[in-house]
Structure 1
Amino acid sequence: MALSKSWRTRYLFYASLILIIPFLLSVLDLHRDGISDGPKRKIPKKSDHLILGPAAGQGLPNRLQCKGLKAVNMDDASRSRGAISGSDAVSFVTVFTVYNGSVRSEPTSLVTVGNVSYSKEERSLAILHTFVDFIQVSMPKSSVIILTDPASHFSVKRNSASLLPIEGDYSRGRLMLQRIKSYIVFLHSRLEQLQKAKSVSHYVFTDSDVAVVDDLGHIFQKYPQFHLALTFRNNKEQPLNSGFIAVRGTPDGILKAKIFLQEVLDVYVSKYMKASRMLGDQLALASVVKAHLPFVAKKFGKPEAFSSEVNGVSVLFLPCAVYNWTPPEGAGQFHGMPLDVQVVHFKGSRKRLMLESWNFYNTTSKLPDMLCLVLKSGRTKYDF
């Protein structure tokens, strides 16, 4: 009787196995087919020309209104170019380098904008030249100082621009870290020279892929107390953008800005070296500010300028929407372009748009119309 029961148990087990195996095989086949033949994620192809769409923000108050590529509620006369009073000047400071091996490019890697084809290095230099060109239009009395690797050989064919070699590690993986180090070295040298200077020169540290479209001298007049100015946005993880830092050119302003940036550098090195290639500087900026101003996040939610003291440094916070506005692919695209926009930041793949915008300006000589081109550029990833 026990033997019969054991045989029946084995019989039921094998019978069940025979029934289950085909089902398992069909599931495995379906899973394998789903992996091999299912819909694959398509990587968006970058465009090699501008694609214009509707201008965001139409009908909203205090936003640029466009009819085609004509600005209908903004003109050159309403902008404040040349508004710096007295003897104070503003100099722009940026970090730029070229890398060995990028001098010559294969024909397939050339990019054409307008009637000009660029290799990889030539593209970077064209962006740098355009950066200077926009400053010469909006702030013709300003100079541009380019901090660079002494081993980097290139020239800038603009009278208002000069190169200042500073020793350091400018490799791609350390460039953002080196940028802060170069800023600190630059401020230290200016502090030493300030005793001999007969006039004050304020400084605006920016990325080289920005277009200054209005006179920024008013910042130092309208807000006379700050030592250093940063731009903020409503972003929980990265509320501060390092692509725009203004420094008052007084001895106290330069010293306090140097102290602030040294603290940012220390936090960068101790906490964010794994993000050193891209975001480490912005994460370190946010960490320093939040450590001293724990409730500042609430103010980042409103695009209004405000001032606070950060470890003895008077910091002016300016909204990115005006002083660091990013074209349609990024922040601000759904609300359009503020009428009082001062700086346009062509981050990432928007660099083609920067060159296209400058070419368009050269045909019209109207910055407001050029801003319509930028606004209507659509959420397109271009080929830079």
Structure 2
Amino acid sequence: MRTRAAVLTDFDSPFLVGPIDLAEPGPGQLVVRMTAAPFCSTDWMGWRAMRRKVPPVVLGHTAVGVVEHLGEGVTGLAPGDRVVVAGTPQCGECFYCGIGRPDQCSVLMDQGDPVVAALPDGREVRAAGRVGAYAERMLVQRIQVHRLPEGLSDETACLLGCGVSTALGAVFRIAEVQPGQSVAVVGLGHLGLWAVQGARLAGAGLVIGIDGHPGRRELARALGASDTVDSARHDPVASVQALTEGRGADVVIEAAGPALATRQAVLMARRAGTVVLAGVAHSATEVELPQLQLTVHGKRILGCQNGQIRPDVDMPRWIGMLGSGELDASPFITRRYALGEIDTVARRSMALDDITGVLTA
């Protein structure tokens, strides 16, 4: 099946935008025509060889689109259905799905990026995150596809499988933020800003947004942050302690990525507090932490692959919150781009010019 895609053939180089030959859908697979896909830090890091991707590869780990073709055994969907394709599948059969942790589903974590197409010269093309969103058509599995209701725009819905699910999962499912708690959010990109909204909706008494970018701090205040800290001018650990009577925050959500941000997130949590680590700077990054913080101080330090969500339960919840207006997506979509403008959106994302750029086919 001939279609068009933006293929990463060499790291840190322009994408090859042109034809690919997509494989026909096999059992449990379907073809979805992409209508909207967000570009975020995960994608430009993949572009810069920071995510262990193997070119040629189509980046993009979530998208919204329309079902076109169904493989054998696919049920519950029909051609013409509008769907969100999420980067975290839920096979329901592996060890991790069996213990209620589909965020670690073996289909994603153990099988890697599948070969889904070929370039005209015969080179195999992989799909990043088992999605490969930056293409006119995607070959994906039924276990990562969710039907969308009417009334939610494609551009808004495409944010579900990335910042929305990760940030809200961090707040509600991992940290289990309680009314009145203090929450510090380190890093105010699209992930951190969604976490600010989530903390506000959870009833946090104090929501502290931390970032060196003045525009991001201003947006965080508009989205519900009660306080912000300029991490370029002030020590964020000392600032959070000053705002919490010297204790530190009840919950810290790290959404920046650098090793320093991870260290600061752990240090700014109070004793017996909770730290959720969502940012990753590089697949090879290592973090050095004071041992006392990990033992005597009794802090809970938890990872956050896609918010540890259960897609079958949580995805309908987030869809409902976006549809009802509880979650405001309007500040997140900075610009819209055609597929052929992917080099521009990659550079703008890396330069922090966009909160989220949305690509359309």
TM over 0.5: no
Tell me the TM-score normalised to structure 1 length.
0.32
By relative contact order (CA 8 Å, sep 6+), the higher-ranking structure is 1
More strand by share: 2
More helix by share: 1
- Which is higher, the Rg of structure 1 or of structure 2? 1
